[in-house]
Chains A and B, each alone.
Chain A
Amino acid sequence: MSIITTQNLTKIFGSGTTAVTALDHVNLSVNTGEFVAIMGPSGCGKSTLLHLIGGLDRPSNGKVIIEGTSIAEMDDDRLTELRRRRIGFVFQFFNLIPVLNAVENAALPVTLDGVKPAEAQKKAAEWLTRFGLSDRLASRPDQLSGGQQQRVAIARALAAEPSLILADEPTGNLDTRSGDEIASLMRDVAKKYGRTVIMVTHDPRVAAYADRIIFLKDGKVIDETILERKNTSNADVVSRKIKEIGD
């Protein structure tokens, strides 16, 4: 069953002669529990697609349907509520709040939902513990490594128990080893914890962890690959694909 469907999703920035089409009639659907990677060269519209799916931005044309509801008609408050309860975000630069510690950061969406801090933090602490950060709950972001910070960010994305996780280059700011760890963790989120994960990346090694890769170029879906598991050469398959498309 598809949790997300886009219909002729189009985004145009600017107008007149300076207009740039970032997304051009994109139609795709993602199934519940699926781990999808979106790849493509810089400026192909990956992030824009993610922002539109997450309700951070509004399309110029077309629709985003999440769990059967079109989000185009939602006002800002309803969209915000949707983001808070149904969607978790993971960013490239972690975007943790420097003055809050790990558990407070992870609990933020729950706290924003009006849950008492103690209760929200209990939930957040559970996720952090699952991600191996049980001894760093009270650490501030500046006391954590990049990989640890990103794990806190993923815990934050999951704290409100959303069904959909959107990740924008989650490994873009990490070294290879940490990148692999995070990519593997993203797969766990989908497979072990049953969330739907959509991840934007341009790293073939990271994309290889996904079930399916969607290739974008100039705002259009130009290819799709379903990866077979237990195949150690997945990364090579992805790399070849990218060469074909021309990065």
Chain B
Amino acid sequence: MNLQLTLAARYLAGRKLRTALTTLAIIFGVTLIFGMNTVLPTMLAALQANVQGAEGETDFTITNVAGDSFPADVTGHLQNIDGVRAVAASLERTINLPADFVDQDPARADRVIAVNLVGVIPEEARSIRAYPIIDGRYLNDADTAAAVISQTLADAFSVTVGDSIHLPSISGLTELTVVGILPASIGPENESVLVNLPQAQKMTGDIGKVNVIRLNVEAFADKDRRTEIQSRIETALGKNYKVGTLITGDEMFATMEIAQIALSVFGTLALFMGGFIIFNTFRTVVTERRRDIGMLRALGATRRTILGAILTEGFLQGLLGSAIGLLIGYLMAFGVLKVMQGPISAFINIKLGLPVVEPGLVLISILLGVTVTVLAGLLPAWNASRVTPLEALRPTVAEAEFKRQTGVGFWIGIVIMVLTVLAILSGQSALILPGGILFLVGLVLVAPGLVRPFASLFGRAVAFVTIRQGIGGLAQSNLTRQPSRVAVTASTSLLGLAVIVAAGGIVTSMKGTLLDMVHDSFGSDYIYLPPSVGLWSGNVGATPELAENLRSVPGVETVSTLRFTSSQTVNGQVVSVLGIQPDEFQQVSGLIFTEGNRSAYEDIVSERALIANSVFMIGTGLNAGDMVELSTPDGQVQYRIVAVASDLLNAKINTIYISQSNLQADFGSTEDVFIQIDLQDGADREAAGAQIKALGADYPQFKVISGVDYYNTIQAQFQAAFSAVYVLFAILAFPSLIAMLNTLTISVIERTREIGMIRAVGGTRKQIRNMVMAEALLLAAIGAVFGILGGMYLGYVLVTAIEVVFPMGYSFPVSGIVAAIVIGLLFGAVAAIIPARQAARLEVVQALRYE
């Protein structure tokens, strides 16, 4: 064995705690890179499936060319096709119901004249779409004459869970027991009755057969991949089958691209954090060993030997750390998937399974682990080779840096940060994402210069709290003796916490925007829903009398109606014209303004003015304030565009909003097509609800649904989808804990003699412990401040980037910031436990002798 290898091996074996800490850093870096990359695709796939399932979207629908039913075992050919994630076969038949079958009342118009009988294999169906049961339970394989129906149908039949409904079948009326209720559906299709496949086969006579297969492909398959999978399916099925593709257009692909970018951003951040920790440790290793190195130099070791010895050490540690990191990374991925399985399967039937280990990823992880370690060790090793033989003769005392920290790096950092802020102001979307990363780099460069002012700021607070213990000032001084080490540690926490804050920002913004829209559109207590929402023209409305009757129901506070007509602009664009009563509309619903504000509601009453949605603005190329000519039954009229705003219902259709009085005057329309009802606070909700539903019985064109229930269902779905994201981000915060533990332990080891002295001159164990703890909290506070700054910027940047494809506003991530502060300080305190104990337990005499 050559000298370098011997030295490296002996140092590694001799300084066990130090070796353990450095290795821990490498392990963590590798764990993160490997674990995250192993688990993320699976998690994101689950997330996508989740969202897809909630929306009930399927990638491919397979039917027989002739429209006939076909043997159920066809699915067997599909499951094993590469790229297919989930397959579910069902037997779906429309069952026409005789007149007055449901309500048994000849005097009333029938609301339900047909139902869609859907026979499914319960768990298979749940792998394709989500069935958010609001009452009772979902189907299971043992069920025979059991059915799951929607709230709307249950209302029509006047049944609840446990009651029976009867449906016509080939063998006469079949009795089905309602075991579960789904939220009211808002689509135009027939109400579905969900039963087990054998039950449906028995009722329709199609024994052993199905007529639709729905199929979802792997997450994030791009267009080419989809085409490829589709052709494989077609080959497997032969000519008798037709493969229909459902939407999943460009919007979906854009979302996927964002997910993939996010993936690589997080990978890079993880790598950075690992590198920082390793760099820090190596730097201290070298500082601590100056005397040894000086001695080696004095004995005749060349600079190359020293450089080689340190790098060899880095290489050995990198290898060891990577190996352990791979193992732990796998275990972490395994654990995360196991933990997430619970909440996810409550929602949709997906087996997360085992983490996928790709040989390429293993290789890359090892390579990265070793390379990062050696690279992080390079600068310290270089410094080590510059140590003069004279160092051997100096007494070992803990080093302290007193030089100014506002060097070139600081100013480069400032410049980078200014440039990135300018980039974001420029609104160039191509610059936004790189800008976010660069901003963090800038912050890391600026950090050392800020450590001292920040430490003295927070130090005052700590000193105030610990004034009686006489160690507050010491903690602060100790922290600032190595500003660059603290800065590196703080930077690690910075990146970790920045991710939390940024994620908080995105999630809050996304959820906020979506839920706001849902809330504004469906947030009223009750809704009279026409068959087609958005595409209003096919709907039969109601005369104003219905709204009047609803207003007179006891307990009703507000009734807001939408009236509809269709018009054309001069350049031939067809546009939905919606009439609103601004006062009532604002109380139960609302538009999200992108230009102009709520004062527009007054303008549309006081003049011929309109609020247009962005689709209309893009389509016509007009600007707010412009006049637009609309065709009416009596010729052309001029309207002024006072604002641009949208709601969820009409987000994708050319739509303008005018007052109902203008709608009546210019277009002669008075039919209500959509009615929202809000109850008074403290009203007898049950009685009012029953009466509202009863009034609806005379208007079968409307479904009456409880908007609050609907909103709650949607909210629960969002919660389920986003909880997975939070877990991921929390994992990313973890390196900051390791970094702080590392830095604190190093600074305790390094100051062993000083601690011994403090004990000798009368410092108690408690004072020593508090000193380390105070230092940890200071360190954490600095990291948190940096992290929050970086995170807010990163979050804003990401929201802006996402806005390009998904309309959302930036919400201030209060929850993210609170989480970052709590996590930061908590991690600081946790990280201090071991070093503080260690410091307090030092034997005075040994500590004084420590070199």
B 398-410 binary contact with A (CB < 8 Å = 1; else 0): 1110100000000
Select from chain A the residue with minimum beta-carbon distance to B844.
A56
Chain B residues, CB < 8 A from A89: 757, 760-761
Interface residues of A in 215-244 (CB under 8 A from B): none
Chain A residues, CB < 8 A from B400: 98-99, 142
- Asked if B762 CB lies within 8 Å of chain A CBs, one says yes
The interface stretch among B105-113, B134-142, B469-477, B648-656 is: B469-477
Interface residues of B in 367-412 (CB under 8 A from A): 395, 397-400, 402
Is there contact, CB below 8 Å, between A114 and B398?
A: no
Is there contact, CB below 8 Å, between B757 and A112?
A: no
Chain A residues, CB < 8 A from B764: 76-77, 80-81, 112
Is there contact, CB below 8 Å, between B477 and A99?
A: yes
Interface residues of B in 748-780 (CB under 8 A from A): 753-754, 756-765, 767
Point out the residue from B399, B467, B758 that lies within 8 Å of A108, measured CB to CB: B758
- Asked if A156 CB lies within 8 Å of chain B CBs, one says yes
- Asked if B480 CB lies within 8 Å of chain A CBs, one says yes
A98-B397, A99-B480, A111-B470 as given contacts; A142 in contact with B760, CB under 8 Å: no
- Asked if A138 CB lies within 8 Å of chain B CBs, one says no
B 766-796 binary contact with A (CB < 8 Å = 1; else 0): 0100000000000000000000000000000
A89-B761, A109-B761 as given contacts; A114 in contact with B470, CB under 8 Å: yes
- Asked if B478 CB lies within 8 Å of chain A CBs, one says yes
Interface residues of A in 84-131 (CB under 8 A from B): 84-85, 88-89, 91, 93, 95, 97-100, 104, 108-109, 111-117
- Asked if B481 CB lies within 8 Å of chain A CBs, one says yes
- Asked if B239 CB lies within 8 Å of chain A CBs, one says no
Give the shortest distance, in Å, between A66 (CB) and chain B (any CB). 14
Is there contact, CB below 8 Å, between B478 and A112?
A: no
Give the shortest distance, in Å, between A196 (CB) and chain B (any CB). 17
A93-B395, A95-B757, A95-B848 as given contacts; A81 in contact with B765, CB under 8 Å: no
Is there contact, CB below 8 Å, between B762 and A85?
A: yes
Chain A residues, CB < 8 A from B480: 99
Give the shortest distance, in Å, between A107 (CB) and chain B (any CB). 10
Is there contact, CB below 8 Å, between A140 and B402?
A: yes
Interface residues of A in 54-90 (CB under 8 A from B): 54, 56-57, 76-77, 80-81, 83-85, 88-89
Chain B residues, CB < 8 A from A88: 761
A77 vs B757: C-alpha distance in the bound complex, in angstroms? 16
Select from chain A the residue with minimum beta-carbon distance to B754.
A97
- Asked if B716 CB lies within 8 Å of chain A CBs, one says no
Give the shortest distance, in Å, between B749 (CB) and chain A (any CB). 16
A51-B845, A98-B397, A99-B400 as given contacts; A84 in contact with B761, CB under 8 Å: yes
- Asked if B468 CB lies within 8 Å of chain A CBs, one says yes
Point out the residue from B398, B762, B763 that lies within 8 Å of A98, measured CB to CB: B398
Interface residues of B in 473-489 (CB under 8 A from A): 473-474, 477-478, 480-481
Select from chain A the residue with minimum beta-carbon distance to B761.
A109
A117 vs B466: C-alpha distance in the bound complex, in angstroms? 12
Is there contact, CB below 8 Å, between A80 and B762?
A: yes
Point out the residue from B473, B478, B759 that lies within 8 Å of A117, measured CB to CB: B473
A95-B753, A99-B400 as given contacts; A156 in contact with B761, CB under 8 Å: yes
Point out the residue from B395, B402, B470, B477 that lies within 8 Å of A112, measured CB to CB: B470
Is there contact, CB below 8 Å, between A108 and B761?
A: yes
Point out the residue from A83, A93, A99 that lies within 8 Å of B762, measured CB to CB: A83
Is there contact, CB below 8 Å, between B398 and A109?
A: no
Select from chain A the residue with minimum beta-carbon distance to B762.
A84
- Asked if A160 CB lies within 8 Å of chain B CBs, one says yes
Is there contact, CB below 8 Å, between B762 and A112?
A: yes
Is there contact, CB below 8 Å, between A109 and B845?
A: no
Q: How many of chain B's residues touch chain A, expressed as a range?
A: 20 to 34
Is there contact, CB below 8 Å, between A173 and B761?
A: no
Chain B residues, CB < 8 A from A77: 764-765
Per DSSP, are chain B's interface residues mostly helix, strand or loop, or mixed? helix
Select from chain B the residue with minimum beta-carbon distance to A88.
B761
Is there contact, CB below 8 Å, between A93 and B845?
A: no
Select from chain A the residue with minimum beta-carbon distance to B467.
A116
A67 vs B400: C-alpha distance in the bound complex, in angstroms? 40
Chain B residues, CB < 8 A from A104: 473
A93 vs B753: C-alpha distance in the bound complex, in angstroms? 10
Is there contact, CB below 8 Å, between B845 and A57?
A: yes
Chain B residues, CB < 8 A from A115: 470
Point out the residue from A76, A83, A91, A112 that lies within 8 Å of B471, measured CB to CB: A112
Is there contact, CB below 8 Å, between B759 and A80?
A: yes
Give the shortest distance, in Å, between B270 (CB) and chain A (any CB). 33
Is there contact, CB below 8 Å, between A91 and B470?
A: no
A140 vs B401: C-alpha distance in the bound complex, in angstroms? 12
Chain A residues, CB < 8 A from B761: 83-84, 88-89, 108-109, 112, 156-157, 160
A84 vs B480: C-alpha distance in the bound complex, in angstroms? 26
Is there contact, CB below 8 Å, between A100 and B477?
A: yes
Residue from A97, A100, A142 having most chain B Cβ neighbours under 10 A? A97
A98-B397, A142-B402, A173-B395 as given contacts; A109 in contact with B762, CB under 8 Å: yes
Chain A residues, CB < 8 A from B468: 114
Is there contact, CB below 8 Å, between B470 and A57?
A: no
A100 vs B481: C-alpha distance in the bound complex, in angstroms? 10
Select from chain B the residue with minimum beta-carbon distance to A57.
B845
A100 vs B402: C-alpha distance in the bound complex, in angstroms? 12
Select from chain B the residue with minimum beta-carbon distance to A97.
B754
Is there contact, CB below 8 Å, between B467 and A54?
A: no
Chain A residues, CB < 8 A from B765: 76-77, 80
Chain B residues, CB < 8 A from A81: 762, 764
A51 vs B478: C-alpha distance in the bound complex, in angstroms? 27
Point out the residue from A54, A56, A83, A112 that lies within 8 Å of B767, measured CB to CB: A112
Residue from B397, B400, B757 having most chain A Cβ neighbours under 10 A? B757
A98-B397, A98-B400 as given contacts; A160 in contact with B481, CB under 8 Å: no
Give the shortest distance, in Å, between B188 (CB) and chain A (any CB). 74
A51 vs B760: C-alpha distance in the bound complex, in angstroms? 9
A157 vs B764: C-alpha distance in the bound complex, in angstroms? 17
Is there contact, CB below 8 Å, between B469 and A114?
A: yes
Chain A residues, CB < 8 A from B760: 54, 56, 83, 89, 91
Chain B residues, CB < 8 A from A99: 400, 477-478, 480-481
Chain A residues, CB < 8 A from B757: 89, 91, 95, 97
Chain B residues, CB < 8 A from A100: 474, 477
Give the shortest distance, in Å, between B85 (CB) and chain A (any CB). 60
Give the shortest distance, in Å, between A127 (CB) and chain B (any CB). 14
Interface residues of B in 432-480 (CB under 8 A from A): 467-471, 473-474, 477-478, 480
A109 vs B470: C-alpha distance in the bound complex, in angstroms? 9
B 503-528 binary contact with A (CB < 8 Å = 1; else 0): 00000000000000000000000000
Select from chain A the residue with minimum beta-carbon distance to B764.
A80
Point out the residue from B481, B759, B848 that lies within 8 Å of A91, measured CB to CB: B848
Is there contact, CB below 8 Å, between A113 and B762?
A: yes
Instruction: Add 16 more A-B contacts to A51-B844, A57-B844, A112-B470 (CB < 8 A).
Output: A80-B763, A81-B762, A84-B763, A97-B477, A97-B754, A97-B757, A98-B397, A99-B481, A100-B474, A100-B477, A111-B471, A112-B758, A112-B761, A112-B764, A115-B470, A173-B395
**What are the 10 A-B residue pairs with the smallest beta carbon separation, nearest first?**
A84-B762, A95-B757, A99-B477, A111-B470, A98-B400, A99-B481, A56-B844, A109-B761, A83-B762, A80-B764
13 A-B pairs (CB sep. < 8 Å): A56-B760, A56-B848, A76-B764, A80-B763, A84-B762, A89-B757, A98-B400, A98-B481, A99-B477, A111-B471, A117-B470, A160-B762, A173-B395
Binding site for A on B (CB under 8 A): 395, 397-400, 402, 467-471, 473-474, 477-478, 480-481, 753-754, 756-765, 767, 843-845, 848
Binding site for B on A (CB under 8 A): 51, 54, 56-57, 76-77, 80-81, 83-85, 88-89, 91, 93, 95, 97-100, 104, 108-109, 111-117, 140, 142, 156-157, 160, 173
